[in-house]
Amino acid sequence: MKSKTEKLLDELVKLHPKYIDLSLDRLKLLLQKLGDPQNHLPKTIHIAGTNGKGSVQSFIRNILVKNGYKCDAYISPHLSRFNERIILNNKEVSTKKLYETLKFVKEINNKKPITFFEITTAAAFLLFQQSKSDFLILETGLGGRLDATNIIPKKICSILTPISFDHEEFLGKTLKKIANEKLGIIKNCEFVLVGKQKKELKDHIKKKLNKFENKYFYGKEFRVIKSLKNKFEIKIDGKKYFYNQPSLNGKYQEENASISIYFAKIMKNMGYRLNTKEINIAIKKTVWPGRLEIINYKNKKIILDGSHNIDGAEKLNEFLKTKKIKPIVLFGMLNNKKASLFLNKIKKRVSKVLAIKIPDEKNSFKTKQINEMCDLHSIKCDQVNNINDALKYFRSNQEKIYLITGSLYLIGKIRRRLL
């Protein structure tokens, strides 16, 4: 049975406009009625990119909190419940406060057409205005230039994580077009950080950022040199440093951590109180659920990875190859994603696929469709009807390691059952 907050969120979904005009006009009007809370936010770090936004956000938040700062964050999508999207002073917003704020914003909007992300972002801005924290980390929802979060007038820093193909129907069919949309967040900020990018994007991004003096690129000002057992070596402004290995799985997390470390170095140079020892502890202790997360379940190891695009599939394949494992994979994906290409990327590291339609997601691929894709790529495939059947399969099978991937929505629905 749904809670009153879940019912209210369902009502907000129904306000979705019949025609998407891809502008911020609806949100501007609503925010004006709310007193323009976006103009009264904590010092803001704004993050866009295809992959790595959540990890970088989590690293930076942990660094700030470990150094005694109060920190808010805006994250999407959530795994288990909407509260996860709004962090106030490093804690999920309470259900009572969330419900009251959403209800108030819904009443002020007065049934006018607006997207779910726009109206919930307006509610989040109200909560961030009231929190009086030192910092706010904002993740874009989709793109950047016309993303609801990009309505804020100024920020302390704009960060670009790796860009690859995703949401092409909204952002464009080429990497450069997608990059242009992501680059839209880079404005009215004191400095810009750009993470590791594909070769074909490096010069394009640099040209676009010519007007900014304070810009720092992965590979030039900072980069990972090598991994050791418990440390990794990075080069910052020509000097070498050792930092704790992130507890997050995947070699690419060193790159995400290096963005966060360089962010901290710049902030320290600007006069903010950031201790190197605390930064090191923060990197090691950062957690980010559902991203190559390993959970023990009934004497089995379950790897949860919310990868849902091709770049994510490549990183997942690299992880499986490094670990020398070929797990059985529970796979479900939304049908606006490139499921066949995803499966092709990981097929050499898979012993079998269990196809599942994501529960309560009408736009999910059906098990039969996933089965056909597996046949195309010569991957063994069984179909399961629901999460109960999948868990029953895990418990009864002799295999000790399983992987669940294809969608964060799937991860969110099954993770709470595993825990």
**φ, ψ for residue 139 (rounded to 5)?**
-90, 135
CA-CA distances (angstroms) from residue 45 to 9, 69, 161, 186? 27, 14, 13, 11
Query: Strand pairing of 189-194 and 135-139?
Result: unpaired
Number of domains in the chain: 2
- Flag whether pLDDT at 227 surpasses 70: yes
Q: What is the pLDDT of residues 309-354, one digit of tens each?
A: 999 999 999 999 999 999 999 999 999 999 999 999 999 999 999 9
223 and 89 inside one domain: yes
Residue 391, both tokens: 């868990």
Give percent of the chain with pLDDT exceeding 90: 89
Mean pLDDT over all residues of the chain? 94
Q: 68 and 145 in one domain?
A: yes
In this model, does residue 263 exceed pLDDT 70?
yes
Is residue 267 located within the same domain as residue 310? no
Which of 237, 263, 285 delimits the end of a domain? 285
In the prediction, which pLDDT does 193 show? 97
Domain of 9: which CATH number? 3.40.1190.10
pLDDT at position 21 is 67
265: β partners: none
Dist CA 397 CA 58 (whole Å):
35
Alpha carbons 124 and 154: distance in angstroms, whole number: 17
Find the Cα–Cα–Cα–Cα dihedral 100, 101, 104, 106, rounded to 10°.
Answer: -110
Give yes or no: residues 115 and 224 share one domain.
yes
Neighbour tally for 152: CB within 10 Å: 20
Encoded amino acid at 225, one letter:
I
Of the three residues 241, 263, 285, the one that is the final residue of a domain is: 285
- Measured in degrees and rounded to the nearest 5, phi and psi for residue 43 equal -55, 125
Residues 300 and 280 in one domain: no
Res 57: pLDDT: 98
Distance CA 178, CA 197 (A): 13
DSSP 214: S
Q: Which domain holds residue 231?
A: 4-285
350, 260: one domain = no
**280 and 306 part of one domain:** no
352-373 core/surface letters (b: 16 or more CB in 10 A; e: else):
ebbbbbbeebeebbebebbbeb
Q: Which residues pair with 215 in a beta bridge?
A: 192
Instruction: Based on the fold, state whether residues 96 and 122 are members of the same structural domain.
Output: yes
- Given 237, 259, 285, the domain boundary residue is 285
pTM: 0.94
CATH of the domain at 385: 3.90.190.20
pLDDT of residue 313: 95
280 shares its domain with 298: no
The DSSP annotation for 150-161 comes to: GG-S-EEEEEE-
- What is the C-alpha to C-alpha distance for residues 317 and 320, in angstroms, rounded to an integer? 5
**Those residues with Cβ within 8 angstroms of residue 202's Cβ, 6 or more apart along the chain or in another chain:** 217, 219
> pLDDT band at 20, cuts 50/70/90?
low
> 181: which residues sit within 8 A by CB, 6+ positions away?
143, 144, 145, 146, 171, 172
Q: Based on the domain organization, do 46 and 25 belong to the same domain?
A: yes
128 plus 45 within the same structural domain:
yes
pLDDT at res. 19: 65
Do 209 and 304 share a structural domain? no
Q: Contact at 8 Å (CB) between 145 and 180?
A: yes
